[in-house]
Amino acid sequence: MAGTRMPIAKAINEALRGAMEDDAKVLVMGEDVGKLGGVFRVTDGLQKDFGEDRVIDTPLAESGIVGTAIGLALSGYRPVVEIQFDGFVFPAYDQIVTQLAKMHARALGKVRVPVVIRIPYAGGIGAVEHHSESPETLFAHVAGLKCVSPSNAADAYWMMRQSIECDDPVIFFEPKRRYWDKAEVDTESTPGPLHGARIARQGSDLTLAAYGPMVKTCLEAANAAEEEGSSVEVVDMRSMSPIDFDTLQRSVERTGRLVVVHEAPVFLGTGSEVAARITERCFYHLEAPVLRVGGFHAPYPPARLEDEYLPGLDRVLDAVDRALAY
């Protein structure tokens, strides 16, 4: 398997398969994850190979899915739950926030609830309402949860393996519009830490920080900026809780400028937290205020407007120009 080129969806599938092979307690559960293999085919073939007892098609009730996953975790299992689309997680929000996130602390560490919640998120696929949202801040804000989002197939594989091994609940945000982006995945390599950020591209004039689907956009923006004579570094944050501020700090200390990009609304988003922390840590290194590019304070628009709402190359470059103009 070492060094195989595969898309993100397949990499997650391989990670689930590997985890299930290694640990009989790992379960996959969700709506349509069995015969269908999930609406994005991420769990394709798993039920055939591991049986209905381990790849569980659930009733169509998200709170029930997460609530029973908590019970299964308490009885020693490691459930990996699929929420079909970002906008459908909210019936389970109560279970995630009031129960899953707090149970370990409530029990003073005497129980663990290693549940992974997979959420295909973010836009760009021309979908109807509730299928394109980026709700990661609503989870990253909650103590007790960990939130991650891979941007490429290799990370998708390893971050899923690490999330399943983690004894804490992990909300795993999958960039659905990048599901079919391919990259080399080496399943024999040794991964870095789950919550460590990665320098995706080196540069010296400005740092672009992003995660999930926006990493690709930022890399394209950095290439475009290069043609215009600016050297832009791209940090793939990979984790929204915890955030690897150390890597961001080191980058900004070198470049002096930071623009944070995500699809989620800018207001009170991950970028706001990064801006505040980096300003505290790098005040004397900053040549410009930290800028944010993201969604607007409006419901995710109908698909014909999503290109306006989503940060694209031009809006990212506009922020880069503004930061460089200081």
Q: What are phi and psi of 70, to 5 degrees?
A: -60, -45
Q: Which of 104, 130, 131, 297 is catalytic?
A: 131
Q: Are strands 182-185 and 170-175 parallel, antiparallel or unpaired?
A: unpaired
DSSP string, 222-264: HHHHHHTT--EEEEE--EEES--HHHHHHHHHHHS-EEEEEEE
Q: Which is nearer to another protein, 6 or 117 (CB)?
A: 117
CB of 184 to another protein, least distance (A): 28
Using alpha carbons, select from 210, 213, 312 the residue that is nearest to residue 261: 210
CB of 248 to another protein, least distance (A): 12
Q: Which is nearer to another protein, 1 or 24 (CB)?
A: 24
131 annotated active-site: yes
User: Going along 67-189, which residue ranges are E strands?
Assistant: 78-82, 116-121, 146-148, 170-175, 182-185
CB of 88 to another protein, least distance (A): 14
The two tokens of residue 291 are: 């800028």
Residues that bind another protein (CB under 8 A): 53, 58-59, 61, 63-64, 66-77, 91, 94-95, 98-99, 102-112, 114, 143-144, 146, 166-168, 195, 241-245
Using alpha carbons, select from 295, 314, 273, 319 the residue that is nearest to residue 121: 295
Q: Which is nearer to another protein, 165 or 186 (CB)?
A: 165
* Single-letter residue type at 93: Y
Q: How far is CA 80 from CA 59, 113, 116, in A?
A: 16, 11, 5
- Give first-to-last CA distance, the chain, whole Å: 49
CB of 70 to another protein, least distance (A): 5
The SS3 call for residue 185 is: strand
Q: Which is nearer to another protein, 49 or 308 (CB)?
A: 49
* Single-letter residue type at 30: G
CB of 270 to another protein, least distance (A): 13
HSE-up of residue 190 (Cα within 13 Å, Cβ side): 0
Q: Which is nearer to another protein, 78 or 131 (CB)?
A: 78
Q: Which is nearer to another protein, 65 or 266 (CB)?
A: 65
Q: Which residues contact 266 (CB under 8 A, 6 or more apart)?
A: 272, 292, 293, 294, 295, 296, 297
CB of 190 to another protein, least distance (A): 18
Catalytic residues: 131
